[in-house]
């Protein structure tokens, strides 16, 4: 429910409200300022309300450009997470929504850029129209002021033989505006989920256009083409008193005529907004390079079926928690590309590990590189770990873990860690029973996970704790050859698809009956439900949690937790 969401995400909601509020305030304040301030009386005479639309959107663009880099400063976020380790974990968890906020700010930049560009196209059209007008109107008179010399101009277009397109590509604001907009369009379009998943390199390299974006943004307003009346001129010839005389110059002026107004540029100020974040981001990149240079030793390489590569590594001073991830670079493949991988080892182990599935050019080349190396290992660089630990699992007597597809990866770390804690009789571990559900289209891609489950199954059976973990594997995509194989070997002790003791179930889980069975088995327990998977599944699990929780506080309660890995 909305109430629950606000309780769990109050910090996110507060940040969102503050961000939206500041944007609305900046836009409204500067819109009214440029629409009413008398220093821009003459500018408005030529441009009309398009001036206010352009300037208000420019302020909001500066504000959002200031924010866009902060959510991707990974080390800054880790530092904040560390400093607020005494805060509630829900607060630290909110910092994991950094990419969602980054995307939100990017969409705002795209929208504001559209408003700013359209407003300036109207402005250019009106500047051009006023320059070519010869009707003696106020815009026409103001546009001819450049002929008097002395820097008195208000209209930046001084020629009758020009076009809007010409100005857009030959002036500093025009050209930088075009370049910034193109860079932004390319960055936004190459960030779609489809491109990130299938053509990560396209996304990675295109995103570095942010350097051009910020360079263009700093230069954009430097020419000061939009002008207003100077303070000195306002005192001497206030437009309310003097504007009428500008169009009546030819009449007899003996004592009450005004001098011509004088104009000055609005100073460029984008650099003031973005300087601090750019310095911060520069330090972030330097820190990443320094951390990446620290030696990583690959202690073991395991090639699992279906082209899944497991790398076990050691690095001095590396400390991880369950549910965290690292960024990996292999200089032999690409000096610049860093890819995120969830850690599949447990903190109790003396190494850290990742499982790499062949999905795209970089992963394919990495797997090939490790397969071909017989003697010397390729050098690996690691940055991290990042992300908030998923320690909530250990706080429940009963835990239901649901992994869908690749979402199974974080649970490798969690299941291993729970087993180690259980073995060592760790007092912080409240968990007495785990139900693990794994939904998968084809088991081939995750054969390595079968190995992990099989070893856990064996260890638990050996120590007489076989009932600590109950897992159910659901194969959602299957063909007739699998079905025939299953039919032939129905009586075997182990499963035909996975080789595990628990049989694979074909089709999707019936969540109502799964929850009812857990509720019946643990009538007085608090059950934590953890999902790493798609949004649609989250909704259906949330609904089941609500339906199967008892109103009686002494009876079973289900609490839903969606992990963002």
Q: Mind listing the pLDDT tens digit for each residue in 254-294?
A: 555 678 899 999 999 999 999 999 999 999 999 988 888 89
pLDDT value at 565 more than 90: no
Given pLDDT bands bounded at 50, 70 and 90, which one contains residue 491? very low
Structure tokens at 82: 């560390």
Q: What are phi and psi of 299, to 5 degrees?
A: -90, -25
Cβ contact 46:127 at 8 Å: yes
* 473 contacts: CB under 8 Å, gap ≥ 6: 438, 440, 443, 495, 497, 498, 500, 502, 504, 505
In this predicted structure, the answer to whether residue 5 has a pLDDT above a threshold of 60 is: no
- State pLDDT tens for residues 295-343: 999 999 988 877 889 999 999 989 998 888 899 999 999 888 888 898 9
| pTM: predicted TM-score of the whole model, two decimal places | 0.82
For 187, the token pair is: 């960055």
Output the CA angle 13-16-22, nearest 5 degrees: 140
Q: Which of 155-164, 381-390, 400-409, 489-498 has the least mean pLDDT? A: 489-498
Q: What is the DSSP string of 215-247?
A: HHHHHHTTT--SEEE-HHHHHHS-HHHHHHHHT
Question: Per the structure block, which two tokens stand in for 288?
Answer: 């990443």
Question: What's the Cα-to-Cα distance from 445 to each of 222, 307, 356, 442, rounded to whole Å?
Answer: 55, 8, 11, 6
pLDDT at 3: 56
Domain coordinates of the chain in residue numbers? 2-171+223-247+259-288, 294-386
Name the 3-class secondary structure at 36. Answer: helix
Closest CA to 128 of 99, 162, 100, 98: 162
Q: List beta partners, residue 303.
A: 309
**Encoding tokens for residue 509?**
């889980």
The pLDDT of residue 245: 81
Phi, psi for residue 551 in degrees, rounded to 5: -75, -25
Pairing of strands 433-440, 398-404: parallel
Which CATH code for domain 294-386?
2.40.30.10
85, pLDDT greater than 70 = no
Q: What is the rounded distance in angstroms from the CA atom of residue 396 to the CA atom of residue 432?
A: 8
Map 482-497 to HEC letters. HHHHHHHCCCCCCCCC
- The residue among 6, 3, 8 whose CA lies nearest residue 562 is 8
pLDDT digits (tens, 9 = 90+) for 437-482: 988 877 666 677 877 888 888 888 887 777 888 888 888 876 544 4
């Amino acid at each position: 429910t909305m109430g629950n969401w606000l309780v769990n995400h109050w910090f996110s909601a507060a940040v969102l409200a503050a961000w939206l509020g500041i944007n609305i305030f900046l836009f409204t304040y500067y819109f009214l300022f440029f629409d009413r301030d008398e220093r821009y009386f003459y500018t408005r005479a030529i441009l009309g309300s398009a001036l206010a639309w352009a300037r208000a959107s420019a302020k909001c663009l500066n504000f959002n450009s200031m924010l866009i880099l902060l959510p991707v400063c990974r080390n800054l976020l880790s530092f904040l997470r560390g400093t607020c380790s005494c805060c509630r974990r829900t607060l630290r968890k909110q910092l994991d929504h950094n990419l969602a906020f980054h995307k939100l700010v990017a969409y705002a930049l795209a929208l504001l850029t559209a408003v700013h560009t359209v407003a300036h196209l109207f402005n250019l059209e009106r500047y051009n129209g006023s320059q070519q007008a010869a009707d003696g109107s106020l815009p026409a008179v103001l546009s001819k002021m450049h002929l008097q010399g002395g820097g008195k101009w208000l209209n930046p277009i001084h020629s009758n033989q020009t076009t809007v397109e010409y100005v857009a590509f030959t002036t500093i604001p025009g050209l930088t505006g075009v370049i910034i907009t193109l860079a932004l369009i390319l960055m936004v379009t190459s960030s779609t989920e489809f491109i990130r998943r299938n053509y990560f390199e396209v996304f990675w390299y295109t995103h570095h256009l942010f350097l051009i974006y910020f360079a263009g943004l700093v230069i954009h307003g430097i020419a000061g083409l939009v002008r207003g009346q100077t303070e000195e001129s306002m005192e001497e010839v206030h437009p309310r008193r003097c504007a009428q005389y500008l169009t009546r110059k030819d009449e007899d002026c003996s004592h009450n005529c005004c001098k011509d107004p004088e104009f000055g540029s609005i100073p460029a100020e984008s650099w003031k907004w973005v300087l601090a974040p750019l310095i911060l981001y520069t330090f972030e990149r330097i820190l990443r390079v320094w951390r990446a240079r620290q030696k990583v030793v690959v202690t073991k390489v395991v090639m699992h079926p279906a082209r899944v590569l497991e790398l076990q590594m050691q690095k001095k001073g590396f400390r991880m928690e369950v549910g965290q991830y690292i960024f990996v670079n292999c200089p032999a493949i690409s000096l610049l590309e860093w890819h995120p991988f969830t850690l599949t080892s447990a903190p109790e182990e003396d190494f850290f590990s990742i499982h790499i599935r062949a999905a795209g050019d970089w992963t394919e080349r990495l797997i090939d590189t490790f397969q071909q190396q017989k003697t010397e290992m390729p050098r690996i660089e690691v940055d991290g770990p990042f992300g908030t630990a998923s320690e909530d699992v250990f706080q429940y007597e009963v835990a239901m873990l649901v992994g869908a597809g690749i979402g199974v990866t974080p649970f490798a770390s969690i299941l291993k860690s729970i087993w180690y804690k259980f073995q060592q009789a760790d007092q912080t571990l409240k968990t007495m029973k785990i139900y693990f559900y794994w939904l998968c289209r084809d088991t081939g891609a995750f054969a390595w996970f079968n190995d992990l489950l099989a070893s856990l199954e064996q260890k638990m059976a050996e120590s007489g704790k076989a009932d600590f973990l109950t897992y159910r594997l659901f194969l959602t995509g299957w063909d007739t050859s699998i079905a025939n194989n299953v039919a032939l070997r129905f009586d075997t002790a182990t499963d035909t698809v996975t080789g595990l003791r628990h049989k694979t179930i074909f089709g999707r889980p019936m969540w109502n009956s799964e929850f009812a069975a857990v509720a019946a088995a643990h009538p007085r327990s608090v059950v934590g439900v953890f999902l790493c998977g798609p949004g649609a599944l989250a909704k259906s699990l949330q609904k089941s949690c609500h339906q199967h929780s008892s109103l009686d506080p002494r009876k079973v309660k289900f609490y839903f937790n969606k992990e963002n890995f």
